[in-house]
Chain A
Amino acid sequence: MRFDWIAKYWPLLIDGAIQTVSLLAISVSVGFVLAIGLAFAQVSGGLISRNLSRAYCTFLRGTPLLIQLWLLYYGVGSLLPLVPGLRQSFLWPILREGFFFAAVSFTLNFAAYQAVILRGALLSVPKGELEAGRAVGMSPFTLVRRIWLPRAIRIALPTIAGEVVLQLKSTPLAFTVTVMDLYAVAYKVRQDTLLVYEPLIVVTLFYVSLTAVIARSFKFVEAQVPIRR
């Protein structure tokens, strides 16, 4: 076991950790907002929006994230240059990056899993609370904002914590589309120094401690809003 390479590679490791954490943060926050829309489409939408949302969730939950990522990166990525004018636009430097495709596909995937969880939570909010809200004359939007959504999020919170950890564990896939995330740095160290296990162990420690941090913070938030059983 040799760990002297850390002295040389630590700036890269920190950059990689930042990439990993930002992929996680982007996909969880944007994905959660998308999931709220998808879940409400399934719970209270019309026939068309309900089925569209359901088909979206089935498709994204039924196919591997790796395939979705490659479909976007290789598939859509190879079609993008055909869009007239896109190459000259200011967006092109972003659209060329693997990071963009990884962030988009992780977000869409997280939204699908999260929507199914939120849907169940929305349905398990006691009917009486919603009726009470309507009885005091809340508009549908106020009802969602003040009662329905906060209650559902609280119910789903333990499941969301697990889902965020699963999302963290799928971020290394980004390395297959040239993102220099933490795992990609470990891969580079392995190629440079021919050490196989040490970089993997260091990176693993980071993932495990980040998992602990996520679990702790969700525990903390849960303790702030106790739930009555």
Chain B
Amino acid sequence: MAASQMSVWELLSPYPPGWGGMLLTGALSTVAISACAYAIGLAIGLAGALGKLSGNRALVFGLNAYTAIIRAVPELILIVGLYYAGTDGLNRLLTAVSLPTIEINGFVAAVSVLGFVQGAYMTEVLRGAVLAIPSGQMDAARAFGFSPFLAFRRVTLPALLPNALPGMANLWMSITKDSALVAVVGYQELALATRLAGANTKQYFLFFLAAAFLYLAITLVSNLVFTALERRVRRGQPQLS
């Protein structure tokens, strides 16, 4: 077996026959999936939070059901279920309106499923953050005759970010790790790339350790970014502890 004669550094080298390049591509696609899903989650979360706060009975009931169900069901089940239900449902819909069925790209499916799940958690984070804004600030904006959009952009958004950022940082950390779950439905990101590298060389331990450190690096770098962001949105506020 050729692989057993290769040293650790040869195995991890970014150029074939090393597998490092594959791991790095996998890490990049993990970051890409996480970032796109996070953006979708942010959009759903913002709409969901504003919907929950709008007070419209039917809307609030629907959104409560969405967040309660998504947050009570294991992520793996959601991802597998939504992956099949999503592609299957879309194709049935297309057949119903007599359009040809389409093959859904793995990336699109993974991102939309993760984003849909992320949206439920984000709704709760943002809702809590909006509720923590002193109501006098909104009253002041209305008294000045701000349009709802302007009031959102100038008052709600800047006042909400300091409250929401710690929760948003947690969600980013959890989505980078949850993105490993799409390996189970066969989309190639870091976790699956690692399993392939391990299967080909029989060096499972080495490659999973390497992948763990890549994930750790992603987490630690994101930590730095979020600390800096939080300092930025908290500028002018009294220091916490």
Contacts and interface: CB of A to CB of B under 8 A. Distances in A.
Interface string A57-97: 01101111111101100111111000000000000000000
B212 A71 contact: yes
B88 to A, nearest CB: 7
Contact of A169 (B73, B176, B212): B73
B205 A75 contact: yes
A196 B77 contact: no
Contact of B177 (A65, A74, A203, A207): A65
Contacts, number: 99
Contacts of A25: none
A197 interface: yes
Contact of B215 (A64, A75, A168, A169): A64
Interface string B181-211: 1011000000100110010001011111101
B145 interface: no
A74 B207 CA distance: 10
A62 B215 contact: yes
Main secondary structure of the interface of A (DSSP, over half): helix
A59 B205 contact: no
B15 interface: no
Interface stretch (B78-86, B158-166, B232-240): B78-86
A63 B174 CA distance: 10
B194 A67 contact: yes
Contacts of B212: 59, 63, 67-68, 71
A77 B75 CA distance: 26
A149 interface: no
Contacts of A59: 212, 216
A71 B209 contact: yes
Contacts of A76: 205
Given A64-B177, A204-B77, A208-B73, A79 B205 contact: yes
Contacts of B207: 75
Contact of B183 (A63, A66, A77): A66
Interface in B25-58: none
Interface of B: 69, 72-77, 80-81, 84-85, 88, 173, 176-178, 180-181, 183-184, 191, 194-195, 198, 202, 204-209, 211-212, 215-216, 219-220
